[in-house]
Amino acid sequence: MSWVSFLSLRQLLSTSSFRQASTIAFICLLVSLASIVFSNHLLEVIMRGHVRDMILKDIRSHQVRQDLMSSTSLLSALEAAYVPELNHDQYLVLTDASGQQRYGAPSLRALSLCEPKCQWQEDEVILPQGHVLQLLGMTVRLPDGGRYYTAFDIRPMLERTRIISLMTGAGLLLILLFILVISLPFGVRNLYRINRIHEALRQFTGGDHQVRVPENPMGDEFDRLGCEVNQSLKRINRLMEEVRHVSNHIAHELRTPLTRLHGQLERAVEHSIDMQQDDAMRQPLLDAVTETERIQHLFRAVMRIAEVESGRCAHQFEPFNARQLLAEVAEYYEPLAQARRCQLRIEADDELCLVGDPSLLFQALANLIDNALKYAPENEPLVLFAELNAPWAYLGVVDKGPGIPRHQIAYAAERFRRFHSPREIRGSGLGLTLVQAIAELHGGDLQLSHNPQGSLDAPGLKAVLVLRSLASAEVVA
């Protein structure tokens, strides 16, 4: 399979190689344009200087032959030596002292009548045939009062110099386009190698801790980066294995003593009942049993969060019916909701199919409902909803409880964070942390906000699992 099949044009155009080539090409283009403008100006200056030199040479040649002594002598010289067919770009006008034109095209007579202060003059003249001339010339006053005007049509010369500039610009443009085309294979190759590193990191984040960046013997900067990434992944994996080993050791060392302690306390309570001890003597034992149960629950929650965050927990993404999942969660919490006099309402399309791990999502939704039932007021409905806005799927719970202060919502998923802690409500502060970990395992996030239908005194809470899901609108068989 070719590299291009892995890439999109947008990715290719955003590569650093292509941007660098484009920047260099753009700078070269600006320099080329400036060079073309400057060279065109320089060619015009040289061309005009050359025309002036030819005009002065013509005047000096007549002066040397003493043709400029009178209009009559100059007319004789012009008629004898000047051949219009051989000098088609040169135009001559001769007038006598009375202003009568003796030589040259009648349409150019007015040009010879300029005062001496207008010796160098550039004029645009339209001949009767419609031909446009751009004349650069000079008027010389003769001793007998006549005037001699000599000029060259510089328009053809200017057009030739502009053609040279345009051809140069076109050649430079082709060179710049060639540079951009040449840079594309390098951009494709570099993007392919960067994508391999990106894919390895994505798989590692997703739980495949044995994945590594494929090595390449070329030894360039991408290979060095890949080696450093592999070393980092190897070290992270080793540290995670050490943490897992320590966690397993702690679990093994603490779970059994806690279970044994809990059992001994329960037997002590039963013994106190058999001995018919009064409640005052039995209450400390009951409190100790409750505390050991809380410690065990807290311990299991911490271990579960660690498993989910590291991707070590058993999970399998598969299609599931979103409404059916919400119904199962609602059925599980129905007795507790009835005890709290709350109604569980489901809002989801009957045929909405999402992709994820149903067991983990069940646990996440259960934590959200558990929190809502703890804090929501009685006789208020709890809404469980699911919706799809590809490529994102939304699962959540909405209540009308006290909510979370707006400035503290960003910290709600931190470990052991509790915002409402009356004595009768027990909790570890790890519920939302676990929900956040499950959402991240699905490539999503946990979003918390106030209930749009809440009041000022009870803003409520809208907890939403935003999941990146391959979704369809089919019922799961």
Domain end (from 262, 294, 310) = 310
Cβ pair 446, 464 in contact under 8 A: yes
The alpha carbon dihedral of 311, 313, 316, 320 has a sign of: negative
Tens digits of residue pLDDT in 334-369: 988 888 888 888 998 888 888 888 888 888 898 888
Shared domain check, 226 and 186: no
Asked if residue 258 is part of any domain, the answer here is yes
Q: Which residue has the higher pLDDT, 260 or 384?
A: 384
In 241-280, where do the E strands start and end? Answer: none
Asked if residue 210 is part of any domain, the answer here is no
Shared domain check, 171 and 26: yes
Q: What is the mean pLDDT of the chain?
A: 76
Shared domain check, 174 and 29: yes
Asked if residue 271 is part of any domain, the answer here is yes
Asked if residue 369 is part of any domain, the answer here is yes
pLDDT at 309: 62
Shared domain check, 401 and 343: yes
Which CATH number belongs to the domain containing residue 63 in this structure?
3.30.450
Residue 196 has pLDDT above 80, yes or no: yes
Asked if residue 268 is part of any domain, the answer here is yes
Shared domain check, 326 and 297: no
Residue 473 has pLDDT above 50, yes or no: no
Decide the pairing of beta strands 101-103 and 90-95. Answer: antiparallel
Tens digits of residue pLDDT in 104-116: 766 666 665 555 5
For residue 472, the tally of other CB atoms under 10 A from its CB is 15
Shared domain check, 365 and 306: no
Query: Does the pTM of the predicted model rise above 0.75?
Result: no
Shared domain check, 336 and 305: no
pLDDT at 144: 82
Shared domain check, 94 and 149: yes
Q: Which range has highest mean pLDDT (209-223, 268-282, 403-417)?
A: 209-223
In 142-233, where do the E strands start and end? Answer: 147-153
Of 329, 22, 359, residue with least CA distance to 183:
22
Asked if residue 212 is part of any domain, the answer here is no
Decide the pairing of beta strands 382-389 and 344-347. Answer: parallel
Shared domain check, 348 and 293: no
Domain end (from 163, 197, 231) = 197
Domain count, the chain: 3
E strand or H helix at 344: strand 344-347
Shared domain check, 143 and 30: yes
- Domain span at residue 62 reads 1-197
Shared domain check, 329 and 304: no
Which CATH number belongs to the domain containing residue 423 in this structure?
3.30.565.10
Asked if residue 253 is part of any domain, the answer here is yes
Contacts 24+ apart (CB under 8 A), 128-135: 133/91, 134/158, 135/91, 135/108, 135/111
Asked if residue 291 is part of any domain, the answer here is yes
Shared domain check, 230 and 147: no
Domain end (from 290, 310, 330) = 310
Residue 5 has pLDDT above 80, yes or no: no
Tens digits of residue pLDDT in 160-185: 777 777 787 778 778 877 877 777 77
Of 88, 147, 83, residue with least CA distance to 114:
147
